[in-house]
Amino acid sequence: FMTAIRRQYFVSYAAIGSVMPLVTVFLREQGGFHFLQIGLAMALMGLPTLFSPALITLLADRNLDTRRILAIAFAGSAAVLGVMFFSENIVLTLVLLILHGLASVAMLPLQDGYFFSLSEAERKRTGISVEYPTIRIWGTLGYILPSLILYYPLLMGAEARLILPCSVFFCLLSLANSFTLSPVLREARQVPTRLPSRQALQAIFAPNARWLSIGLFFGLFAAATYYTFIGNYLDEVVEVPKPYIALIINLGVLIEVGCTLLMPRLQRRIGLKGILILGLGCMVTRMLLLSFFPSPAVAVMAQLGHGFEVLALYVGPVMFLNRLAGDEFRNSIQGVYTMAVTGSARVLGSLSAGLVTSTFGLRANLLLGAGLATCSLLIIALLFSRIPPRREQGEIAVSPGTVP
């Protein structure tokens, strides 16, 4: 029953991987954006994360079919990216970026919520639990594919805007695959008297989780500053030829595959908290190396820790969130977290990166990211205690008295 969800992760992350490595290069070349405008554009693209994920995942928890929500989101994203391909106006491009963010931003938390709901239903039915990393790894593989597809056209001189039709193609595949996903069979229950999103917010900032959320906010803030301009940094500071930029970035993603496969063993040895600390340490090191030693060799070497960083910021936290969730807000907790933590960090990070880069340069932006990542590392290492798996602490791992 997990075959379709594996495909969904693969093609949806391929849609993202088509755009993200070169989107700021595209904006600078074809859009004529300067650094402050790029920061603003990336912030605007992330702006919908401040409200739409919680709303859409709430609808999923209210029994609106998750598969249909995904279909609408991918169709909207494909349409917007198609129009953006022909846009030659900065204002129109900014508007389209907001619409793209609105259409696409809830895809990943909704997919995660759908997977955990499906997995939990299967666990209750058969006693077999499917590990999240074994599904998430298909997203990693999908993210890599577009850089391989686009390498030769870019090498032959194609414009960076080619990333847009590539993403449209994978959005349409995601749309088609959403109709093959299995329905989540839920137990009959009374309509809850409390909003799932409210329960989710209380769980995220419960005493046993608040330092995790705060620490991850700083980590994601740092990540936003990094990813906003890493393409431009490799292009303009390190002077990497454009066809190789996505390949260098995706070298780290390839290593991420190995890290994801290694994660269950790592988790048994050092726990999820240990994985977070390891990944954040790699993040700080990577940004410092890139800032002080801008060379192609260092750019490649700095990707070696990328996989652990992804485990720390994007895989481990999702698993912690699922430990906090009950069935009635399993989708909502992913959306509320995306809104309250990921979204706010992404918007502030992009704006800060644009301001710092336009004033002090691309290398200074990496130092900003390193400082924020250090804050994240210290908060999680010193102030956050582990959240036990559900099997160790009943059905919901929220501190007693937090959710009545």
Q: pLDDT digit string (tens) for 115-129?
A: 888 887 777 777 777
Distance of alpha carbon 353 from alpha carbon 366, whole angstroms? 9
On whether the CB atoms of residues 319 and 311 are closer than 8 A, the answer is no
Lowest mean pLDDT among 80-84, 157-161, 230-234: 157-161
Q: Residue 288: is its pLDDT beyond 70? A: yes
Per-chain mean pLDDT for the chain? 84
**What is the structure's pLDDT at 99?**
84
Burial of 386 (0-12, 13-18, 19+ CB in 10 A): middle
404 CB-near residues (< 8 Å, 6+ apart): none
DSSP state, residue 206: S
Q: What token pair was written down for 128? A: 């077999």
Taking alpha carbons only, the member of 69, 356, 88 closest to residue 226 is 356
Q: Taking the alpha carbons of 18, 158, 153, 36 in that order, is the dihedral positive or negative?
A: negative
Lowest mean pLDDT among 105-109, 150-154, 226-230, 231-235: 105-109
User: What confidence tier does 176 reach under pLDDT thresholds 50, 70, 90?
Assistant: very high
310 CB-near residues (< 8 Å, 6+ apart): 140, 256, 259, 260, 279
Q: pLDDT digit string (tens) for 203-227?
A: 888 887 889 999 999 999 999 999 9
**What is the structure's pLDDT at 193?**
46
**What is the structure's pLDDT at 399?**
42
| Protein fold of 3-176+198-392 | Growth Hormone; Chain: A; (1.20.1250)
**What is the structure's pLDDT at 283?**
97
Distance of alpha carbon 33 from alpha carbon 35, whole angstroms? 7
Higher pLDDT, 402 or 307: 307
Taking alpha carbons only, the member of 219, 371, 226 closest to residue 299 is 226
Q: What token pair was written down for 120? A: 């939990």
Q: Residue 102: is its pLDDT beyond 90? A: no
Distance of alpha carbon 107 from alpha carbon 262, whole angstroms? 26
Helix, strand, coil in percent for the chain, rounding step 5? 80, 0, 20
Q: DSSP string spanning 263-310?
A: HHHHHHHHHHHHHHHHHHHHHHHHHHHHHH--SHHHHHHGGGGHHHHH
Q: What is the CA radius of gyration of the chain?
A: 20
Burial of 364 (0-12, 13-18, 19+ CB in 10 A): middle
Q: Residue 185: is its pLDDT beyond 70? A: no
**Which whole number is the average pLDDT over 353-359?**
95
Single-letter code of the amino acid located at 64 = L
Lowest mean pLDDT among 58-72, 131-145, 272-286: 58-72
Q: What token pair was written down for 339? A: 């809104």
Taking alpha carbons only, the member of 369, 349, 354 closest to residue 39 is 354
Q: What token pair was written down for 203? A: 């769980």
DSSP state, residue 394: S
On whether the CB atoms of residues 36 and 360 are closer than 8 A, the answer is no
- pTM assigned to the model: 0.79
Q: pLDDT digit string (tens) for 359-383?
A: 999 999 999 999 999 999 999 999 9
**Which whole number is the average pLDDT over 25-53?**
82
On whether the CB atoms of residues 329 and 139 are closer than 8 A, the answer is no
**Which whole number is the average pLDDT over 300-324?**
88
Q: Residue 54: is its pLDDT beyond 60? A: no
On whether the CB atoms of residues 387 and 208 are closer than 8 A, the answer is yes
**Which whole number is the average pLDDT over 102-111?**
74
